[in-house]
Amino acid sequence: MTMTLAGRANRRRGEVEAVIDGERRILCLTLGALAELETAFAAESLAALATRFSSGRLGSRDLIRILAAGLRGGGNRFSDEDVEDMVVEGGVSACAAIVRDLLMLTFGVGDTPEAGPNPCEPQQVRT
């Protein structure tokens, strides 16, 4: 069961929404976030990074790095150390599902039927 939420996230832009530390947050692996991950994982290219992630063998430190980069890419100001102490609603399995969703959306792997129409329908203005 994925604990990502529909709402503010635009999945066509690679955004995932999740409840972390009791707050709904947007995560996105932007180009800057991917550059961070290339350095963190000593990957020579995006293809090498994708190959590493597709192995399916990610440890807890890997999940922390990917979540932290995704949070920063989504406009949140957290260090990897901050993320180590955060609580993801749904526990470790939800954390892994968030990372899976981020990687699938970023690298175009798998089907993402929840993406919805693009462009999104206009929202009603509240007065």
Cα separation, 31 vs 53, in Å, equals 16
Contact 18, 24 (CB under 8 A): yes
Angle at 76 (CA atoms; ends 46, 41), nearest 5 degrees? 30
The token pair at 6 is 């529909």
Does the predicted model carry a pTM greater than 0.85?
no
Asked if the peptide bond before residue 113 counts as cis, ω within 30 degrees of 0, the response is no
Contact 11, 98 (CB under 8 A): no
List pLDDT tens digits, range 61-109: 999 999 999 999 999 999 999 999 999 988 999 999 999 999 999 987 5
Contact 18, 3 (CB under 8 A): yes
Average pLDDT in the chain: 83
- Structure confidence at residue 108 (pLDDT): 77
In one letter, which amino acid is 94? Answer: A
> 3-37 in b/e burial notation, b at 16+ Cβ within 10 A?
bbeeeebbbeebbbbbbbeeeebbbbbbeebbebb
Least confident of 1-5, 36-40, 61-65: 1-5
